[in-house]
Amino acid sequence: MRFDVVTIFPEYLEPLSVSLVGKARARGQLDIRVHDLRRWTHDRHHTVDDTPYGGGPGMVMKPEPWGEALDAIIAPGSAATADGEAAPEQPTLIVPTPSGRPFTQALAVELSTRPWLVFTPARYEGIDRRVIDEYRERPEVHEVHELSIGDYVLAGGEAAVLVMAEAIARLLPGVLGNAASHQDDSFAPGEMAHLLEGPVYTKPPQWRGRGIPEVLLSGHHGRIARWRRDEAFRRTTRNRPELIEQADPEEFDQHDRKILAELGWDVSEATGRFGRPTPDVEE
């Protein structure tokens, strides 16, 4: 898989050379290329921004350097890998922005199947809109995703790129030591789609007078799996109740429904979905 990142702060992307992502790069599973946007400027100050039309605070990133940079990266023949192998035909363009749609685990799974992602982290007030519109219509580009990692604003999109790159890269075959590790992740498609992962424990069995749940020492895999799922319901009710509200009650078995009832959930006759429990329900 190939990642390209265009930025005015290449050093910000150095974490892509460490940990699991760095090891995947070293093994050749990931081809990551970081490009300095200022290479495609033509004035002595390497200007990448200007004042916004219509007035207002802040600056806007100019379309010319972005257009030249993206043209160069996606141009036919420019995308060969380091060992000379042909590159994927069409990249998917990822635009980090607080005004984008949420980046989710399900989307990370989808993007992990794409062979080539190009990230465009912006600074200031963002990139001139014409750039996104241009590449959304370009046949060389598979599709464009404007994505947000949360309801807050950062100084730039590089941190968002690090988040998305790691979330996607860890799903690639062979990146995690245990290929099944991500199957029980919070938000993972399947049984965990509407649940947060529950608490985890390791040795020693006693620490500062605190033990671990006895079921985890039982060796009974069925009971352990059930306990973990019950704990996931409790944590989700406490921290992200909207995930259960969004779920189809038909997705849950009889035991699931019993736990949800104990936590105060009930299916609404009006909506056919779970109604949020009252705050005084004990967990």
User: Which of 185, 191, 197, 262 is flagged as catalytic?
Assistant: 185
How many other CB atoms sit within 10 Å of the CB of residue 116? 20
- Token digits of residue 150: 């949360």
DSSP 156: B
Question: What residues does 269 pair with on adjacent strands?
Answer: none
Give the chain's radius of gyration (CA, Å): 23
Residue 125 annotated as catalytic: yes
Helices (H) and strands (E) in the chain, counts: 8, 9
Residue 245 annotated as catalytic: no
Tell me if residue 106 falls in helix, strand or coil.
helix
User: Which of 50, 110, 125, 166 is flagged as catalytic?
Assistant: 125
User: Which of 10, 63, 88, 98 is flagged as catalytic?
Assistant: 98
Span between the terminal Cα atoms of the chain, in Å: 43
Q: How far, in Å, CA of 237 to CA of 279, rounded?
A: 10
User: Which of 65, 121, 123, 170 is flagged as catalytic?
Assistant: 170
Q: Which residues of 19-55 are buried (b: 16+ CB within 10 A; e: fewer)?
A: eebbebbeeeebbbebbebeebbeeeeeebbeeeeee
Q: How far, in Å, CA of 135 to CA of 144, rounded?
A: 7
Q: Name the residue among 237, 151, 143, 150 with its Cα closest to residue 195.
A: 237
CA atoms within 13 A on the CB side of 250: 1
Residue 115 annotated as catalytic: no
What backbone phi and psi angles, to 5 degrees, belong to 127? -95, 140
| Residues known to be catalytic | 98, 125, 170, 185
